[in-house]
Structure 1
């Protein structure tokens, strides 16, 4: 479903656009293209006085607060490099932005994201970030379950796996909300403000 409307109280939520994540190999969009499109969205939202939420994933140095459980995914060994969890420079230096640190795939569980949004009367979120099939999809599902209208900026997200990205875009996201391009969202934002 194409993007048809943005509520008066819409927030932009950017997932894991941090140094250690944008350094991974991404498909079908490069991480640089995702950061560029996300920065354009953030600029437009700030210009219209709408909230921008920067979500990052981070863990204690000893890994004690990392997601546990049995799975077949092999976690990389050792400690991540210094600064891996810092938001990319293209999105920083805006004190009005909301910062959320998560320990899970999605940005709602175990964080104050829902509280931050509800305090501001937010009814809709526009989502972007890396990785489409993990952090973005998990957050989109939870946003839908929390009753938010969900819009997904398809060219402002990417994945380490092109098939996983495509599956989220074509099979999952149409059930959760509307999907459009950065340009479409920025144009709609300007037209409704």
Structure 2
């Protein structure tokens, strides 16, 4: 495996939906732990970090297509969309709220990354095959280089997670583990 040689002036860490309601429903404690290590790495290197959450104004802004497997429509707790408190979110970090799976469509993510000269994103979060993969596909179409941290993401099932990591992400960028990324950049 080649050394990552991350240029923190051109690389952003983008964390998808590591918010109380999603982390709790997915058993995402391990994902948050790995993500926290990446956040620390980017803070140490003055890197740009984007914390993405999904939230809705009144529910009318929520996608509701006809599908074979409808989304659960349940009342969520008031703190459902709040980012996990274990993440070390600072004033210099960027917070972004999305209204669908992908973090680019309908947001200013591309604009904020380009204004800062970013050409690469390190991507992680929940859910691997929904929010992370949708964001990855959008980023690919915008021409970003991508690094996927496979042990800092999770899906509803291991099968869904593995499908994205094995078949989709290698075609969109590079797949790595958190320890590999942190170890290679701290040498």
Could you tell me the TM-score, scaled by structure 2's length? 0.94
Matched residue pairs, number? Answer: 186
List structure 1 runs of 4+ shifted beyond 6 angstroms: none
Is the 8 Å Cα contact of residues 7 and 123 (structure 1) preserved in structure 2? no
Moved more, 75-84 or 125-134: 75-84
Q: Is 1:19 aligned with 2:20?
A: yes
What does residue 6 of structure 1 align with? 6
**Cα RMSD, aligned residues only:** 1.5
- Among 51, 55, 63, which residue is 1:54 paired with? 51
Task: Specify whether residues 3 and 129 from structure 1 end up closer, same or farther in structure 2 by C-alpha distance, changes over 3 A only.
Answer: farther
Deviation at 1:78, TM superposition (A): 3.9
Q: Which runs of 5+ in 1 are unaligned?
A: none
- Among 76, 98, 104, which residue is 1:102 paired with? 98
- Among 108, 113, 121, which residue is 1:112 paired with? 108
What does residue 180 of structure 2 align with? 184
**Aligned equivalents of 1:177, 1:41: Cα separation in 2:** 18
1:37-76 counterparts in 2 under 5 A?
Answer: 37-60=34-57, 62-76=58-72
Q: What is the DSSP-based 3-state SS (H/G/I as helix, E as strand, rest coil) of the residue aligned with 1:169? A: helix
- Among 161, 164, 178, which residue is 1:165 paired with? 161
**Aligned equivalents of 2:88, 2:67: Cα separation in 1:** 35
**Aligned equivalents of 1:59, 1:175: Cα separation in 2:** 32
Could you tell me the TM-score, scaled by structure 1's length? 0.91
Deviation at 1:2, TM superposition (A): 6.5
Q: Which runs of 5+ in 2 are unaligned?
A: none
Q: What is the DSSP-based 3-state SS (H/G/I as helix, E as strand, rest coil) of the residue aligned with 1:23? A: helix
Q: What is the DSSP-based 3-state SS (H/G/I as helix, E as strand, rest coil) of the residue aligned with 1:87? A: coil
Task: Kindly indicate whether structure 1 or structure 2 has the higher relative contact order, using CA contacts under 8 Å at least 6 residues apart.
Answer: 1
